[in-house]
Amino acid sequence: MRQYELVERVRRYNPHADEALLNRAYVYAMKAHGSQKRASGDPYMSHPLEVAAILTELKLDDATIVAAVLHDTIEDTEATREEIDRLFGHEIGELVDGLTKIRRLDLVSKKAAQAENLRKLLLAVSSDIRVLLVKLADRLHNMRTLHFVPPEKRARIAEETLDIYAPLAGRMGMQSMREELEDLAFRHFRPDAYETISKRLVDFFSESGSLVTKIETELRDRLQAAGLKVDVKGRLKKPYSIWRKMERKSISFEQLSDILGFRLIVNTVEECYAVLGVVHRAWPSVPGRFKDYISTPKQNDYRSIHTTVVGPSRQRVELQIRSIEMNEIADYGIAAHALYKDDAANGVGHESRAYTWLRRTVEQLAEGDPEEFLEHTKLELFHDQVFCFTPKGRLIALPRGATAIDFAYAVHTVVGNSAVGCKVNGRIVPLLAPLHNGDEVEIVCAEGQVPPAAWESIAVTGKARAAIRRSTREAVRKQYAGLGRRIIERAFVRAGKTYEDERLKAALPRLARPTLDDVLAAVGRGEIYSGDVVRAVYPDYKGERTISQPTGKTEAGWFGLKQAEGLVFKVPGAQQESNPEPSSQAIPIRGIESDLPVKFAPNGGAVPGDRIIGILTKGEGITIYPIQSPSLMAFDDQPERWLDVRWDIEEGHRQRFPAQISVTVINEPGTLAQIATVIGENDGNIDTLTVTGPSQDFREMLIDIEVWDLKHLNAILSQLRMRPVVSKADRVNG
């Protein structure tokens, strides 16, 4: 395209276009890209001009067209944002910067880099939708020329287009662009499937061409006889849409009922319903194949009536009935709105539902790591929708497969966090039950409820997942903060100092933490040593940071040293020792499955009756070791991580605990059966078993076993040693 051709295209729909601005942008981009070439061998400048040409078809304003011409200058040339701002203004500079990928990312995976660039793009889009329109046009032209790209890159680019850009165009209501992106990407991503389906479509049309004409004629005649002026357009379903439906429903090409479709375009909404009445009187409708998107529009502003009838020649025919305005929005989506056209009064106008959805989605998903953002954005983009109602009649649009959990979070985050049950159409159903079109959903809430972390894997919407993750993190943070407060208070007691929240708040800058809770949680997680907190509040405190411990200590020596730390920690589901510390000195948590992770030592575990020690590990919680575990030697020089713990279970508890035993046996048939029988008859539970062969005559079995307590474990070991096939049976202390 030539410079004057671009200007003519713009002036065709905007006679007042700033021709000087367009020419200046053309000259600047031409100089910036210089002798750069595309993969096709064409001058690079051909690409931004074609992108601008695509946007002229959407009749966009001058600033957007200029941004399209300049969109690769900052990323691929020596041009800078400051220079763009100076020459073309801040508005155009913002648009171009939003389209510029993040360069020199220090990220270990391409997926993380892709996610970070998508995050930057969507954050820019949430400020100005024109960024997205330019980006989609940019991707469309790149897909049109993808055959020039090396084969190893084609599939990756095509997959990214199908995963992100085509669904994004669909969510913005730009169906024509979505279909072309899908068609171009599909032929490169799955060339065999594309070839097969395209051939089947050609064969289908050659066989049904006369039928299409016949149906068009009969529809037009019947509607004209009813006094309705209707534009009837026949169409075939697109290859990618056919492939997705065949994959999703596991059906063959022959089983598809909507390959053939017709659009009936009228002038007004009233005529849409009049056409529907004529059609349903003339031909029987197919049950379950009627959707009224006029009364309940999709979130991308799409409005139309869909119905399937058994038409002429007993052929199933899908009909889409819409007005001229609805058809324009269906094809061009958000670009059909006047909000960003030059004739909009200072940009004030109707903000489309699609753009409102996009901004809200970006706000909800902008937190967290980049790959989570990418995953949840795909979730938000990809799903078809179901429409449900609150008891007061509010319409809630959700992805297909969404549950009452997603519904609750769609209503409000507080509702989702406090949800404990639900009623669907007046019947009590589980929160995990999938919802269907037209369901009326009532959420039952309870104060103080915290959403289980497992809900994150069940939720379908990105909003619900993000909210559950935030709530879970906050709950864990509170647990760690409570633990950290007790540790700090005891540290101040040991140092002979007075602890006060206000004094610690004044010392926050020395600890590089913004809030008191951040410090408490960091101490609870083991990220900050409690002695450092004392020194931050009392700089003159000279206490030692670590306690040197000679190796080879006896069990009593180890335990005594840790008692000197002055902390006792209740191990959930465990029994108290004969001389427990006062309960007021304990740091309680709730259950082994608590949000504050508590686990037993690998390769050995611990059981009631063992004297035990807790080790704080950053980001992992507390690991419980028996006092005789040689693994504790590794923590000799880290006393700040040690906690005295004790068993705290009710008498007659019915909870098993992990232990590991090593059994050396004679290598003969039936040995394994004898070992398993002894453990089973003594009410033990084998978790895992590993057999190795130290020699031809013997085998060593390493068995992870679950028992009630130390007495139970010793009884099993005693019974094993009595077996003739057993040479040795001992407990393993990892």
Where residue 590 falls among pLDDT bands split at 50, 70, 90? Answer: very low
The winner for highest mean pLDDT among 38-42, 273-277, 545-549, 599-603 is 273-277
Crossing angle of helices 81-88 and 19-33, in 10° steps, is 150
| DSSP code per residue over 542-610 | ---SS----SS--HHHHHHHHHHTT-EEEEET-PPPSSPPPGGGEE----TTSSS-EEEPTTTB--BTB
pLDDT above 60 for 547: no
pLDDT, position 366: 52
The CA-to-CA distance between both ends of the chain, in Å, stands at 73
**Range from 252-261, 326-335, 382-391 carrying the lowest mean pLDDT:** 382-391
Which of the pair, 650 or 199, is modelled with greater confidence? 199
pLDDT above 80 for 218: yes
pLDDT above 50 for 591: no
**Range from 253-262, 433-442, 675-684 carrying the lowest mean pLDDT:** 253-262
Which of the pair, 93 or 556, is modelled with greater confidence? 93
- Cα gap 102→218, rounded to integer Å: 56
pLDDT above 70 for 544: no
Which of the pair, 195 or 569, is modelled with greater confidence? 195
Which of the pair, 353 or 433, is modelled with greater confidence? 433
Strands (E), 642-684: 642-648, 657-666
pLDDT digits (tens, 9 = 90+) for 3-46: 788 889 999 988 988 999 999 999 999 999 988 998 888 899 99
pLDDT above 90 for 264: yes
Distances (CA, A) of 424 to 143, 162, 403, 457: 45, 35, 11, 22
Pick the CATH number of 193-336 from 3.40.50.1820, 3.30.1370.100, 3.30.460.10, 3.40.50.150: 3.30.460.10
Task: Report the SS3 class of residue 112.
Answer: helix
Please compute, for residue 313, the number of CA atoms within 13 A of its CA located in the half-sphere on the CB side.
Answer: 11
Task: Report the SS3 class of residue 391.
Answer: coil
- Cα gap 100→62, rounded to integer Å: 19
pLDDT, position 144: 93
192, amino acid identity? D
Where residue 183 falls among pLDDT bands split at 50, 70, 90? Answer: very high
Mean pLDDT value of segment 300-309: 88
What is the number of helices (H) and of strands (E) in the chain? 29, 20
Find the catalytic residue in 5, 18, 42, 75: 75
Domain with CATH 1.10.3210.10 in the chain: 3-192
Which of the pair, 116 or 87, is modelled with greater confidence? 87
pLDDT, position 373: 55
* Other CB atoms within 10 Å distance of the CB of residue 260: 21
* Superfamily (CATH) of domain 3-192: Hypothetical protein af1432 (1.10.3210.10)
Block residue for tokens 């949800």: 419
pLDDT, position 579: 38
pLDDT above 60 for 204: yes
75 carries an active-site annotation:
yes
Find the catalytic residue in 19, 76, 517, 636: 76
pLDDT, position 83: 92
**Range from 352-366, 549-563, 615-629 carrying the lowest mean pLDDT:** 549-563
pLDDT digits (tens, 9 = 90+) for 634-667: 887 777 777 767 777 766 667 888 899 999 888 8
pLDDT, position 126: 65
Domain with CATH 3.30.70.260 in the chain: 657-732
| DSSP code per residue over 138-192 | HHHHHHHTGGGS-HHHHHHHHHHIIIIIHHHHHHTT-HHHHHHHHHHHHHHHSHH
Mean pLDDT value of segment 103-120: 54
Residues 690/701, Cβ–Cβ less than 8 Å: yes
Where residue 143 falls among pLDDT bands split at 50, 70, 90? Answer: very high
pLDDT above 90 for 48: yes
pLDDT digits (tens, 9 = 90+) for 452-504: 878 888 888 878 888 888 887 777 777 778 778 878 887 888 788 888 888 88
pLDDT above 50 for 572: no
pLDDT above 90 for 265: yes
- Cα gap 177→19, rounded to integer Å: 27
- Cα gap 422→428, rounded to integer Å: 6
The architecture (CATH level 2) of 657-732 comes to 2-Layer Sandwich (3.30)
Where residue 121 falls among pLDDT bands split at 50, 70, 90? Answer: low
- Cα gap 625→631, rounded to integer Å: 8
Block residue for tokens 């039936």: 670
- Cα gap 147→39, rounded to integer Å: 9
* Other CB atoms within 10 Å distance of the CB of residue 476: 19
Task: Report the SS3 class of residue 420.
Answer: strand
- Cα gap 38→621, rounded to integer Å: 54
- What is the residue-averaged pLDDT of the chain? 79
Mean pLDDT value of segment 280-307: 86
Q: Any residues with CB less than 8 A from the CB of 104 and at least 6 apart, and which? A: none
- Percentage of the chain beyond pLDDT 70 is 79
Beta bridge partners of 545: none
pLDDT digits (tens, 9 = 90+) for 346-400: 343 345 666 666 666 665 555 555 555 555 555 555 455 677 888 887 778 787 7
| 61 backbone dihedrals φ, ψ, rounded to 5° | -75, 170
From edge to edge, which strands make up the β-sheet containing 427-429?
A: 427-429, 419-424, 441-445
| 42 backbone dihedrals φ, ψ, rounded to 5° | -75, 155
- Cα gap 614→597, rounded to integer Å: 12
